[in-house]
C-alpha cells in the first residue's frame, strides 16, 4: 500500500500545474459548500433563537378559544388575572421567567405618515422586557404606570419621521370591536435589527395596553422562557390543564421547523451537484493521465501487475488529489466563514411572515458540517475515479504497448 501511494505521489507530481488546478477546483467547491452550510446554520439558529426570545417563548399559556392569527381581544379569548397565573408558573424550577403579554392591532400616524402596527403590552417590571431594553438606541422604556408613553422601532420612527420626545397618534382595536385613539409620546426607540419588530411593533406598558383596548385585567398569553429548550415538553406536561392551552415553541414556530427541514433536504441535493461538477475536473485529470501513460500501464501489465492493483494505483492518485482539495477547501472556507461570521451578510427584509429574521445573516460553522462535507467530497471523488481506474485496468498489455509508441 505504501508503495502504491509513493507511485501515486510521483505520478501526481508529473504535471504539477494540472494536479494543482484539479485540487483547487475541488477545494473551491468545498469552500463554497462550507460557507453555504455555515450561513444556513447561522440563519436558522439565529432566527429560531430570536423568535423564541422575542415572540413565542419556549411556552405560551393561552385561553382555549384564543386564536393568535386573529389577535382577538374578547374577554372570553383572554386570560383573566394574568399576573396570578404567571406567578404560579414562575415558581417552577425550570422557568427563568413567566410574564403576561397583550397583543392588539393598531395604526400609528404622525403628520401625513401612517402605518399599521402590532401593539404589544408588556410588564415592564418583569425581567423579560430587558431583552428589548438592551436594544434601545435612544430614550428609555416606559414605566409601568406611564399612561402616555410608547416605545417604537427605529425603522418605524424613520418612516414616521419622529424621534424620542415626539408625539404620535395611536389607534387600536378594542375588546368590544370599537377603535380607541390617543396621542402618545415616544419614550424610546429600539433597533433589534429585525424588520418585523423594528418596522411594525409598538410597545405599551401592560396596564395601559389593557386600558386602551378595554381588556381590563386580561392578557393574550403568558410568555414563558425556560433555562433549557429541551425542558419544554416536561414543563408543558406539568402545566397541562383543562382551563388553558399550552403552546410549545415547536407548535408556535411550525413554519421555522419546516423551513429548516426542507432547506437541509435541498442543500443535500445542492451539495452533490456542486461536488459532482467540481470532481469532473479530477476525472478529466485522471483520464488524461491514463492516455498519457498508456505504454507505462502496458509495461506494468506485462510485468504481471494485476488489474486490481492498477485500479488501486489510480484510486491512490485520486485520493491524493482529493485530500489536497479538501485541505485547500477547509482553508478557503474557514477564511470566508470567519469574514461572514464577523461582518455578516446584509439581506434586508426577507418578507417572510410567521418567523423573525434579522436583516443581516452571520455564518455559524459547525464541526459536524465540516466533517460531513469533507467526507462526502472524498467519497464522491473516489467514486468519480472509478471510470479512469477501470479504463486503465482493462487495457490489453499488447495494445497498450503499441498505443504508447
Same-domain status, 82 and 148? yes
Same-domain status, 82 and 33? no
- Whole-number mean pLDDT of the chain? 82
Q: Which residue has the cell 504508447?
A: 404
pLDDT score recorded for residue 353 = 55
Check pLDDT > 80 for residue 285: no
Q: What percent of the chain has pLDDT over 70?
A: 85
The reply to whether 31 falls in a domain is: yes
pLDDT score recorded for residue 333 = 93
Domain count along the chain: 2
Task: Give the CA angle between residues 66, 108, 194 to the nearest 5°.
Answer: 70
**At which of 176, 209, 242 does a domain end?**
242
pLDDT score recorded for residue 49 = 83
**Rounded average pLDDT over 327-342:** 93
pTM score > 0.85 for this model?
Answer: no
Question: CA quadruple 20, 25, 31, 34: dihedral positive or negative?
Answer: negative
Same-domain status, 302 and 342? yes
Same-domain status, 341 and 193? no
Same-domain status, 226 and 291? no
pLDDT score recorded for residue 405 = 45
The reply to whether 58 falls in a domain is: no
CA 6 from centre of chain: 45
Check pLDDT > 80 for residue 9: no
Phi, psi of 396 (to 5 degrees): -75, 130
Check pLDDT > 70 for residue 14: no
Same-domain status, 98 and 206? yes
The reply to whether 364 falls in a domain is: yes
- CA neighbor of 222 nearest in space, from 355, 103, 131: 103
* CA distances for 135 relative to 144, 154, 217, 244, angstroms: 19, 10, 28, 32
The reply to whether 60 falls in a domain is: no
Q: Grid coordinates in use for 118?
A: 402590532
The reply to whether 141 falls in a domain is: yes
Can you point out the beta strands (E) in 75-157? Answer: 79-80, 95-110, 113-122, 136-139, 149-153
Same-domain status, 311 and 389? yes
Residues near 291 by Cβ (< 8 Å), separated by ≥ 6? Answer: none
**At which of 185, 217, 242 does a domain end?**
242
Same-domain status, 100 and 194? yes
Check pLDDT > 70 for residue 1: no
Same-domain status, 131 and 26? no
Same-domain status, 237 and 103? yes
The DSSP code sequence of 359-393 is SEE-----HHHHHHHHHHHHHHHHHHTHHHHHHHH
pLDDT band at 350 (very low <50, low <70, confident <90, very high): low
pLDDT band at 68 (very low <50, low <70, confident <90, very high): confident
**Rounded average pLDDT over 271-281:** 79
The reply to whether 57 falls in a domain is: no
Q: Are 326 and 26 in contact (CB under 8 A)?
A: yes
The whole domain housing 261 covers 2-51+256-403
Phi, psi of 145 (to 5 degrees): -100, 10
pLDDT score recorded for residue 238 = 87
252/150: higher pLDDT: 150
Identify the H or E element spanning 241. none
pLDDT digits (tens, 9 = 90+) for 225-241: 998 888 988 999 888 88
Say how many CA atoms lie within 13 Å of 251 toward its Cβ: 13
Check pLDDT > 90 for residue 307: no
Distance CA 266, CA 367 (A): 20
Say how many CA atoms lie within 13 Å of 339 toward its Cβ: 10
Q: Which residue has the cell 419544554?
A: 232
**At which of 187, 212, 242 does a domain end?**
242
pLDDT score recorded for residue 258 = 77
Same-domain status, 261 and 320? yes
Q: Are 67 and 220 in contact (CB under 8 A)?
A: no
pLDDT digits (tens, 9 = 90+) for 111-122: 888 899 999 998
The reply to whether 145 falls in a domain is: yes
The reply to whether 326 falls in a domain is: yes
pLDDT band at 20 (very low <50, low <70, confident <90, very high): confident
Task: Give the CA angle between residues 68, 72, 77 to the nearest 5°.
Answer: 90
pLDDT digits (tens, 9 = 90+) for 35-46: 988 988 888 888
191/389: higher pLDDT: 191
Check pLDDT > 90 for residue 169: yes
Same-domain status, 27 and 91? no
* Backbone φ/ψ region at 214: left (φ over 0), alpha (ψ -120 to 50), beta: left
**Rounded average pLDDT over 116-129:** 84
pLDDT digits (tens, 9 = 90+) for 173-227: 998 888 999 999 999 999 888 887 888 899 999 999 999 999 989 999 999 999 8
Question: CA quadruple 291, 293, 299, 300: dihedral positive or negative?
Answer: negative
The DSSP code sequence of 140-155 is -PPPTT-SSEEEEEHH
pLDDT score recorded for residue 292 = 63
Amino acid at each position: 500500500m505504501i508503495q502504491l501511494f509513493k507511485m501515486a505521489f510521483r505520478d501526481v507530481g508529473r504535471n504539477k500545474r494540472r494536479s494543482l488546478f484539479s485540487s483547487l477546483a475541488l477545494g473551491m467547491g468545498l469552500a463554497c459548500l462550507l460557507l453555504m452550510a455555515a450561513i444556513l446554520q447561522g440563519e436558522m439558529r439565529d432566527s429560531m433563537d430570536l423568535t423564541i426570545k422575542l415572540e413565542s417563548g419556549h411556552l405560551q399559556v393561552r385561553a382555549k378559544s384564543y386564536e393568535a392569527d386573529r389577535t382577538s381581544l374578547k374577554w372570553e379569548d383572554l386570560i383573566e388575572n394574568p399576573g396570578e397565573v404567571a406567578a404560579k408558573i414562575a415558581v417552577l424550577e425550570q422557568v427563568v421567567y413567566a410574564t403576561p403579554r397583550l397583543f392588539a392591532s393598531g395604526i400609528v400616524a404622525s403628520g401625513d405618515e401612517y402605518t399599521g402596527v402590532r401593539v404589544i403590552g408588556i410588564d415592564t417590571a418583569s425581567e423579560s422586557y430587558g431583552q428589548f431594553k438592551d436594544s434601545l438606541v435612544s430614550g428609555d422604556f416606559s414605566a409601568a404606570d406611564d399612561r402616555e408613553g410608547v416605545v417604537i422601532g427605529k425603522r418605524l420612527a424613520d418612516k414616521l419621521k419622529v424621534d424620542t420626545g415626539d408625539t404620535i397618534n395611536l389607534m387600536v382595536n378594542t375588546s368590544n370591536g370599537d377603535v380607541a385613539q390617543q396621542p402618545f409620546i415616544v419614550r424610546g426607540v429600539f433597533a433589534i435589527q429585525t424588520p418585523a419588530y423594528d418596522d411594525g411593533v409598538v410597545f405599551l406598558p401592560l396596564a395601559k395596553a389593557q386600558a386602551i383596548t378595554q381588556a381590563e385585567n386580561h392578557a393574550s398569553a403568558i410568555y414563558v422562557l425556560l433555562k433549557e429548550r429541551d425542558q419544554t415538553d416536561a414543563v408543558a406536561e406539568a402545566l397541562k390543564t383543562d382551563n388553558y392551552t399550552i403552546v410549545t415553541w415547536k407548535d408556535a414556530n411550525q413554519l421555522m421547523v419546516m423551513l429548516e427541514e426542507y432547506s437541509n433536504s435541498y442543500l443535500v441535493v445542492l451539495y452533490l451537484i456542486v461536488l459532482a461538477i467540481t470532481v469532473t475536473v479530477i476525472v478529466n485529470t485522471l483520464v488524461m493521465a491514463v492516455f498519457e501513460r498508456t505504454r507505462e500501464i502496458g509495461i506494468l501489465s506485462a510485468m504481471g501487475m494485476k488489474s486490481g492493483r492498477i485500479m488501486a494505483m489510480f484510486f491512490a492518485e485520486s485520493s491524493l488529489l482529493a485530500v489536497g482539495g479538501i485541505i485547500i477547501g477547509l482553508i478557503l472556507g474557514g477564511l470566508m466563514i470567519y469574514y461572514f461570521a464577523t461582518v455578516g451578510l446584509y439581506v434586508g427584509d426577507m418578507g417572510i411572515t410567521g418567523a423573525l429574521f434579522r436583516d443581516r445573516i452571520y455564518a455559524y460553522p459547525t464541526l459536524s458540517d465540516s466533517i460531513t462535507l469533507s467526507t462526502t467530497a472524498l467519497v464522491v471523488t473516489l467514486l468519480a475515479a472509478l471510470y479512469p481506474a477501470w479504463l486503465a485496468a482493462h487495457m490489453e498489455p499488447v495494445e497498450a504497448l503499441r498505443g504508447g509508441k
